[in-house]
Amino acid sequence: MNCRLAGLAIVVVLGMQLAALAQEPRIVIIVNKANPTDSLSLAELRRIFMKQTRNWRNGDSVVPVDWEAASEMRKSFSKRVLNRTVTEMTEFWVQQNITAGQNPPSTQKSARALLRFVAGVPGAISYVAAGDADDSVKVVRVAGLQ
């Protein structure tokens, strides 16, 4: 009987995790159309948003742009790409500011604002739901990002 309950509990937990993943939007990475980059690894993307990579391969400055902290997109991106919660990233940036004088990426409040920013800034990179990307920006493939 205990084995059946334990098995049922595992199935329920796995089902809840799968349901949570299914509800998260498919994220795509966007860059300015002039950016020659076509693909990134997940590790490269993580380094960009943690400001450990400062330049694109062509020498242009990287300008990462985040969603505001309360957004579901930001929560999902932080978990999937940065392997941290938004709160943990806030703590990371406080520490970076104190020790290295680094500030977090700037933020925008909507997909429309992010698209406009990325389209207007040559080194910009951000992320939106797949259905929000348009032809004003370039979508970059990221191996390992679902």
The per-residue pLDDT for 22 is: 47
CA dihedral 30, 34, 38, 44 (to 10 degrees): -60
The per-residue pLDDT for 8 is: 52
Structural domain boundaries of the chain? 26-143
The per-residue pLDDT for 19 is: 44
What are 5-50's pLDDT values in tens digits? 545 546 555 555 544 444 678 999 999 999 999 999 999 999 999 9
Dist. CA 146–CA 57, nearest whole Å: 24
What are 48-82's pLDDT values in tens digits? 999 999 999 999 999 999 999 999 999 999 999 99
Q: Tell me which architecture the domain covering 26-143 has in CATH.
A: 3-Layer(aba) Sandwich (3.40)
